[in-house]
A and B are shown apart, each in its own frame.
Chain A
Amino acid sequence: MTTVDVVGPGGPPPAPEEEQLPGGFAGLVERAWLNLRTGNLGPFPIIVGEILVVLIFGLTATNFFTAVNFVNLITQTAGTAMLAYGVVYVLLLGEIDLSIGYLAGIGALIVAELQLPGSSWHMNGILAMLIAVAACALIGGVQGSIVAFVGVPSFVVTLGGFLIWQGVILNKLEQRGTIIIQDRWINYTDAYIFSHFAGYLIAAILTALYPISILYKLVVARGTHIAQQNWTIVAIKAVGIAIAAFGTVAIANHGKIITTPEGLPLAGVLIVLAFVVLTFLAKWTTFGRHVYAVGGNAEAARRAGISVPRIRVLVFMISGATAAVGGIIFAAQVNSVALTFPPGNLLLNAIASAVIGGVSLFGGRGEVRGALLGAVLIGTLQNGLNTLNVSNGWIYIITGLVLLGAVTLDTFARRLQARSGR
């Protein structure tokens, strides 16, 4: 970088040999300080924000810190997080998908129709869910094709989708009213409760994933940069994941609604599972690499021989599929699909989750974990405000302020990053 743009409160620009930091705790402190100075904050602010939110509500709301509410929080967040995962992929391309809210409704509607006892097409709930997800992926693919092959901006295409799918839901449900979902498999997506032992087993498996991925890197990528780890950070992450996983299960296992024991709900496992799969897809596969490339510089990607339209269509299919899964979880929560579906401002919550999680609207920057963290933050916030009996108006206002604050912080951090040339 040139010399004119490095003067800042952080002092002199970092020396060029800073890549090799000492290991251990000293290295950790040094790296943390360096990252703070250079605006390389990662998910740190959002985790701090989440802890703050939990503390504030824990101290102010009497029924926030209960196991039952905790399980509620998981199931409420699950649907939004699922949609937000799809949003991450779409935003990584620098596109937007406004149709996902009502696409979630379409997914739920298809499932509700297909499981309807007495109808000629009545089928098993699992099959119905697979069909719904496939159908929404197909719809996403069609919308994506219009973006990729015709060249209509995604904002317009999916705005069209937004209206169309809203219309379809209205047409279908205005005469029919609410469709009750009785199929147990469908309702399980939200409220299947694992036994205490199964819950801990799942926590153990999830805890093991991160160390396994580190081990894999060490073995396969010996001697390269990606194999370099600061062991203190690895240890902190591993312990953090373990605490989060086992803590979640422990609290969930503790809950009781009157006499029915609670436990880890399937919805919670689903979001973590989707998180793992979609992170793997984004970070470890050629497809994921190409998504980042197209979002970073579509022309460069095209010249490198990547089929840009193919990537675009596939990403919109992912977006459609995650929307359907999210919609099914939401429908399972109330065991029905009604005209009020999708709940609240699902679309905006999903996009806000991804953006709060640090995903750039301009493409090429962001991670799937951001969507999860963002959805959890928004979910906790809204859940906590609800338990405090705050009016809906204030919930919107506060959510909006948090969104603004998170994005402003991110913008500042990025400016620092650009200035320090990292």
Chain B
Amino acid sequence: MSDTPPLLELRNLTKSFGSVQALSGVDMNVRSGEVMALVGDNGAGKSTLIKCIAGTHTADSGEIVFEGREVKIHGPKDSSRLGIEVVYQDLALCDNLDVVQNVYLGREVNRFQILNEATMEQTTSATLKSLAVTTIRSVRQPVATLSGGQRQSVAVAKAVQWNSKLVILDEPTAALGVAQTEQVLALVRRLGEQGLAVILISHNLHDVFETADRITVLRLGRSVGVFDRRTTTQQAVVEAITAGTPTKVAGIATSPETA
């Protein structure tokens, strides 16, 4: 990747819950137009890390630098104000509402509290089109009637609707079949191509190697390496996940005791 400054940079982030040290010094960065995969075993701290970025948790120490300046994220409102959107694993969609209603949930276009359905519907259709989501028959369909992949598309559309700059996807393909996984991965790549910064959390290295530009490996609350997808192998990444082998990527400090 080139020398463009990262959109989001985390420096030595730590977070503990009581005596449990969930994050003990995480460094990570992601640039605009890039898909950064975040991988690691269960309990490596992936979820805690994105919750710190999303504002669900507040980091104990360390710096979050967004667009070149340090920011403090205390709640979900802070992160969405910065342009950070998270698509959670369970998608957080209301089954009883239709696609438009879900995409605009909590940010309905209204005048004096009266809904402006027309604007919402047109924008939703346009967003889905820009994401090349063509399988959804009608944006006025209840989400309950959609397939897993379609629901994922709706959740992503909901995230990118707001001129967001960074989209974090938590295990977007975990519950999907083969064809739908392909659909969603294509969607993830398209987000990167459209200039957004994307953090993709996944257990599935196949998915990761198909979509990501770079890969950050977390192990026991520590970032143990950043890999460039084109110059590494799944084998190397697996080793980093399981053994925490540090790698020699320029600019990434490795933790002393893992050396």
Contact = CB atoms under 8 A, between A and B. Distances in A.
Decide whether A and B are members of one complex.
yes
24 contacts: A17-B137, A19-B137, A19-B138, A220-B116, A221-B117, A221-B121, A223-B118, A224-B122, A227-B118, A285-B113, A285-B115, A286-B113, A286-B115, A287-B113, A292-B96, A297-B94, A297-B96, A299-B90, A300-B105, A301-B94, A303-B76, A306-B106, A365-B96, A421-B145
Contact of B92 (A17, A224, A303): A303
A212 to B, nearest CB: 14
Interface residues of A, number: 34
B114 interface: yes
Interface residues of B, number: 32
Interface of B: 76-77, 80, 88, 90-97, 101, 105-108, 110, 113-118, 121-122, 137-140, 145, 147
A225 B145 CA distance: 17
A290 B106 CA distance: 7
Q: Which of A19, A293, A299, A300 has the most chain B CB atoms inside 10 A of its CB?
A: A300
Nearest to B109: A286
Given A289-B101, A293-B97, A296-B97, A226 B121 contact: yes
A289 B96 contact: no
A222 interface: yes
Contacts of B91: 300
B94 A292 contact: yes
B145 A305 contact: no
B114 A285 contact: yes
A307 B96 CA distance: 19
Query: What does DSSP make chain B's interface, helix, strand, loop or mixed?
Result: loop
A300 B94 contact: yes
Given A221-B121, A225-B121, A285-B115, A305 B106 contact: yes
A300 B105 CA distance: 9
A4 interface: no
A305 B76 contact: yes
A344 B138 CA distance: 47
Contacts of A301: 94, 105-106
A221 B118 CA distance: 5
B93 A300 contact: yes
A140 interface: no
A299 B105 CA distance: 12
A348 to B, nearest CB: 26
B137 A225 contact: no
Contact of A222 (B110, B118, B138, B147): B118
